[in-house]
Each structure stands twice: as structure tokens, then as C-alpha cells.
Chain A
Amino acid sequence: MFTSIFFYFLASIAIASAIFVVLNRNAVYSAIALVLCFFSLAVIYLLLEAYVIAVLEVFIYAGAIMVLFLFVIMLLNLGLEDAFPYFRHLQRALSLFMVGLFFVGIFLIMFNEQGILHQPGEKFSAGDIYALGEALFSKYLLPFEVASLLLLVALIGTVYLAKRKI
């Protein structure tokens, strides 16, 4: 019961922060709002029993991709100047909030042991790392290898494009 209400709570945070991303004029605030959106999505993934994806969402999206965004925004100095003093308080409050969200999600799953889509009596095992790893290295081996090749070349391309000297 509480799990379901928590889902709707997270959904409204995700929607609200997504609207904030699109409407805000300051790119730094947009980026922070997007991190919040990704965090609430990560907790929703926990409730959907996709644990690996939930962790990857935080690692890759909130961690790597958004840091890259913020890095570029600040490198090009696109944020409004006066944004930064507020930004520090916002950051602290937001990070506490997000960590809180994540822990509530983990506790719910730990004590309930079933997600929001879980039918009573159903057995579900596709969300853990064993199932995902097995699929990646058998059924989807080729896409996995091609993705690694792509990452290599994307790295080369990025270095070439962003380097000042040719």
C-alpha cells in the first residue's frame, strides 16, 4: 500500500522536476533539476525490481552524464553569475533529499520484498545482476561488444573535437 503511494509521490517529483528543467532559464538549475528527476526515476526502478538499472541510473546518468553537462556549462560560463551563492544551499538540501529518497526506496523493497507491479504469488528474478549479466554475455553478446567499440571511438572523437590544437 505504502509502496504504491510512494510511487505516485516519486512520479510527481519526476514530472515537476522535468517541467522545471524545461522551463528554467538558468542552465545550472536545469541540470540540477534533471539530476533530481533521474534520482526519482532510479527509485522508481527500485520499486520495479530492476536493481542493477537503478544503480546504473545513479552512476551513469546522475553521476557521469550530468557532471559532464555541469562541467561544460561552467566551462563555457553559461550559468547566471548570481546563481552560485544560492546554488550551494540548494545543492546541500537537494543532496540530502535525494539520498533520503533512495533510502526510503531501498527500505521499502527490503521489507516488502516486492515491487509496485508485483502480482501476488508471482516469482520474479529478471531484475538482479545474474540475469542481466547472463543475457548480456549470451543472447546480447554482439550488441554488448559493438557498444564497447562505440565507446572507444566516441572517446577518440570527443578528444579530437574538444581539443584546441588540431
Chain B
Amino acid sequence: MSNLHSLTHFWPELILTITVLAAIISDLIYRREESFKVAWWVLGGLVLTLFAIQIGGSTVSDLFMGTIALDPFSEFFKVLVLISTIAVVLMSFNSNELKDYRMGEYYSVLAIMAIGLFLMASAIDVLMVYLALEVVSIMSFFLAGYLKKNPHSNEASLKYVIYGAFSSGIMLYGLSILFGLTGTTKFIGMQTAIANLGPDSNLALILSAVFILAGFGYKISAVPFHFWTPDVYEGSPTTITAYLSVAPKAAGFAMMIRFFNQVFGDSTALVSETWSTINGIPWPQLMGVLAAVTMTVGNMVAIQQDSVKRMLAYSSIAHAGYMMMALPLMSEAGVYGIMIYLLMYLFMNLGAFFVVIYVQGKFGGEDFDNFDGLGWKMPFVGVVMTLFMFSLTGLPPTAGFIGKFYLFAAVIKAGTQYYWLAIVGALNSVVSLYYYIRVVKHMFLKGERSESVEMPASSLVTILLLAMALPTFILGWYFAPVVTWISESLVIFQGM
């Protein structure tokens, strides 16, 4: 579609851009003590964007002369990104860590990051892929180091910037090799060009695929590109940790699915079934092994942690591993499973991090010991946290169970050669039960039982906890509308 025509389908991003500019200008007007008011501008813009996506209709087309795609698939991920951004903006009101800092920049950058994630989910041109990835990365470096007086936060952002710039450099080299092999930057053009390549280009193709995988793997924190995750997640402000563990991961999966499906896929079908264009390496098996290693490493290290925040960081690696199980299948059911899991994961993980933020603000720490007796002191928070922990393990009747169910069903349906992967996944879920239950144990069995019962002082906290807990619970047994919505969203732009 031409540039001018594209603008009529580009409302969500345009509204977000205007929001960012308005937020930056309003930040100049507000005094330091009231700089948190920028959040209202950003929130308004985010909600408007959500409406703009809803009324946008479901056109399937390319925009801006083939740089990004407009399809229900990207709209699903945009909604996911918006929900998590809104939740994180609201969470930041109650964050104790952020209290001493000027907040205008924080909220404006969160909104820019949402734009970057939108572009990540819809990029169909390698140039746009790199640009979107870098926008998101640079903004996350900044947000990870937002507590600039806190050495932990400084350290987190320095590690993040080094790992991030390094792996995006490696990915860029892979993209440039791909450009050199095909002579085009568009996914669709690349697919046809790769199909016509001779066997002597195979080595270069494998090299570029591995390099590009490094970039994607870094974004979704897959082993062996996960080294940054624990330190960055621990050192960043907890609100940002919550955001990084959900939104960029979702957009990273969207980008990865689209890229591998369209560039290295085999047909123009909705979701191509095979990977046959790269000869020489058993690609599905390699991805399967990566998934298995990712979840095992994540779980094994999560067990040893003393801090709940760091435990959740490692467990988010494990969750990336569960979702990666469905990548090598390259089947419609697999992509479907990943999308359902991401939606469920959004609520339970944001909820769990929000409880950590609350405990950190109230009891001054995020270790397991800080949770002692919480279930008796504040039954509401305790019960909600228990729900999130059960859901993250994947126990019924919670949302996490439904997510895991669809994911494992896709893996088993793909045939006997993937049974081992499903078994590894199931064993890992059992392992994860141990450390998730440990939180519950600390809340209800350790510490003294207090007689007085307390509710969260601010009603915003209660509402926000409910907003995360209700979907986690209800989607565990009434999930038909969500599943229908996701199956309707499974339309990926495949070229005109």
C-alpha cells in the first residue's frame, strides 16, 4: 500500500506517537513533584490506541510500501502489548523504588517502547525488524537504569546494554548476509530468492540463520542467549522487570514466528508446515533441543534463588522455553498454542510481579523471608499470590493450565518425534511446582500468625490485583471467547 493510503490504517501508532509528544511537552510544564501526572496523558493515549485497534477492522494488507504488515496476527500482539503497558503504568504509581525520581521521562519512554513493540509485531522487512528491535532495546536499557542513584540498577543497565548491543550486532550481520544472498530486504522476496539459491550458498544461509537466531534468542531470553536476564531483571525497577518479562517477550515471539515462517518457511500457506529450505542442519530438532535446554536451565537455577524477584526472572526463562517447544512444529496449532500461552502468561506474571512490588514497598525487600506470614497478615494479597503461583505452575483450574494444555496438545499432535519434548516439558512443570509452592509455604506456614487482618491501603492496589487475578482465575474454566478470538487472529499476512 502506498505511504499516503497507509496512514488511514496507521491510527494506533499515530495516536501513540502523538501521546509521546504530548507527554514530553507536558513534562516540561509540570513541576518536579507533579511529574507523575504525565502518566495520565500516557494512560489516556494508550486507552485511545486500544479503541483505535478495536475499530480498525480486520484488513489484511501491507503498509508503507511493504515495510510493515496489517493483519489480525499483529493486532493480537498489539492488544497484548497495550494491556501490559497500561498495567505497568498503573503499577508504577505504587512503586516505592520510583518515588525519588522524576517520572515524566519514564512514562514517555514506556509509550515509545509500546510503539517499538507494535512495529516488532508487524515488521515484514528486515530493515524494520532491526529498527524495531533496536528501538525496544535502547528504551529498555534506559528503563533498566532508571534508578540512576542505585548501583544495582546502573549495573543492570550496563550489562543489558553490552549484551543487547552485542547480540543485535550479531543479528545484524546475519541479516546483512541474508540481504547479500537474496538482494532484497522484504520477507516475501527473500523466501522466493532463497528457494532459488544453489547448494553452494547453503553454508552462508546456515550462518545467517544462526546469527539471526542469536538476536531473537536474546530478545525472548532463550538459552544460550539468556545470560543477561537474571541480573537485568534483578537490578531493574520491579515495574520494568514485570514489563520486560511480558511485553518484549510477546513481541519477540511474534517477530520470530513471522520471520521464520516467511523467510525460511516453505510455502505460501497460512503457516507453512516445513523448514526444508535450509538443508544440512536438522532445524526442528535443533530448536526442540534449545527449548528443552531453556526450560531446564531456567527451572534448575530458579530453585536455588533466595529472592522472589530473581526466582521469577529465572522462571520467565523457563516459560520462554515452554513456548519455544511449539516453534519447531511450525504448525498452526503450535502458533495458536504460543498465542494462548502468552495471553495467560501476561496476567499471571504481571500479577505475581505486582505482588512483589507491593511486598517490597511494604516490607522493604523481595526475598522469600519478606513473604513470611503474609497470608495471615493480608489474606487478600496472600490468596491472590497463591493463585498466581498455581497458575504459573500450570495447575487447574487456572489460566496457566489452559495455556499449558494447548501448548502440550500442539506438541503431542505434531507426531511421535516430539513426544520427548512434551515429556521434558511436563517434568519441568513438576520441578517448577517446588519453587512456586515455596512462596505459598512462606506466606502461610512460616512466620507468626497475626491476629489482625489488613487490606491494601490503596484501593488502586486492590483493583489492580483483582484485574490481574480475575482473568487468571476465570480463564481457567471459561476460556471459549478468548480461544475464539485467538483463532480468528491467526491470519498472517502472506504477500499480496
Contacts and interface: CB of A to CB of B under 8 A. Distances in A.
- With a 10 A CB-CB cut-off, give which of A141, A147, A160, A166 has the most chain B CB atoms: A160
Interface string B53-72: 00000000001111110000
Contacts, number: 66
A54 B452 CA distance: 72
Interface string A135-162: 0001111110011011011101100110
Q: On chain A, which size bracket covers the interface?
A: 10 to 19
Interface residues of B, number: 33
Interface in B129-144: 131-132, 134-135, 138-139, 142
A157 B142 contact: yes
Main secondary structure of the interface of A (DSSP, over half): helix
Main secondary structure of the interface of B (DSSP, over half): helix
Contacts of A147: 131
Interface in B1-23: 3, 6, 17, 20
Given A147-B131, A149-B112, A153-B108, A141 B3 contact: yes
A50 to B, nearest CB: 14
B188 to A, nearest CB: 15
B24 A156 contact: yes
Given A146-B119, A146-B131, A166-B100, A153 B67 contact: no
Given A142-B128, A160-B105, A161-B142, A166 B149 contact: yes
A143 B186 CA distance: 13
A139 B66 CA distance: 8
B148 interface: yes
Contact of A142 (B64, B105, B145, B148): B64
Given A141-B3, A141-B64, A143-B127, A161 B148 contact: yes
Interface string A111-129: 0000000000000000000
A139 B109 contact: no
Contacts of A156: 24, 105, 108-109
B102 interface: yes
A140 B139 contact: no
B414 to A, nearest CB: 36
Interface of B: 3, 6, 17, 20, 24, 63-68, 100-102, 105, 108-109, 112, 115, 119, 125, 127-128, 131-132, 134-135, 138-139, 142, 145, 148-149
Interface of A: 138-143, 146-147, 149-150, 152-154, 156-157, 160-161, 166
